[in-house]
Amino acid sequence: MTFTSAQLIALVGGGGLAGLAALITAIAVLRRDRNSDLNQRFDQTKALSDYIDERVDERVQAAVEAALKPYIEKVEALEKREMSTKSILYAYFTRLFGWDEGGRNGSVPVPSDSELRTLGIDLAAFEMAEKQLPPVHLFIADDTETPTQQNGTPA
């Protein structure tokens, strides 16, 4: 497709005029009119909202820190306790393996009372268990029982 010079001049000229009109529109969109009420309101609102943003950020930060403080402390305490739990178990298993490899002389090593308390194990439960042993004999298979028939009723 080829253009004659007259066609080209007309096309370019029309395009140039349309470009000029587009430029007018773009300038009108982008121009800041300082005297306009709307522009002043825009500037004031922007300054106000920036100021409020800063203040709200500060306050929200302080409030969130205050609200989270007890939880952070709790988490820190839990982390510390986790460490002590691990060290108690590590020491206990070391003693247990030593006892096992040394020929199992003497009674099984048991964590001390303070260690058990740190682990959150109630010592009273052990004392109760010593007094009232669970009915272990019920769970031990005994072949000397009375034989039963195939359908389950006593002979």
Partner 1 sequence: MRALVKGPSHARGVLGPLSTAWGLVLWLFWRSIWAPGSIPPEERKWAVPLKRFALPLYDVVLVFGGLFAVESGVPALTRIIQDPLADILGYAFTVVAVVCLAGIAFPKLWVYEMIAKLVIVFFMGVYLFALIVTPDSGQRDFISAIVVLSLILPGFRLWIIGTEARDRRLLRAITTQGDL
Site for partner 1, rule CB under 8 A? 4-7, 9-18, 20-22, 24-31, 36, 38-39, 41-42, 45-46, 49, 52-53, 56
Considering beta carbons, is residue 46 or 86 the nearer one to partner 1? 46
On whether the CB atoms of residues 121 and 129 are closer than 8 A, the answer is: no
How many residues are recorded in the chain? 155
Smallest gap, in angstroms, from Cβ of residue 8 to partner 1?
A: 9
- Positive/negative CA dihedral, 65, 68, 73, 77: negative
CB of 66 to partner 1, least distance (A): 22
Least distance to partner 1, CB of residue 1, Å: 12
CB of 67 to partner 1, least distance (A): 21
Closest to partner 1 by CB, 12 or 83: 12
Handedness of CA 30, 34, 36, 38 (dihedral sign): positive
Q: Counting Cβ atoms within 10 Å, is residue 91 exposed (0-12), middle (13-18) or buried (19+)?
A: middle
Helix (H, G, I), strand (E, B) or coil at 154: strand
Give the residue with the Cβ less far from partner 1, 21 or 89.
Answer: 21
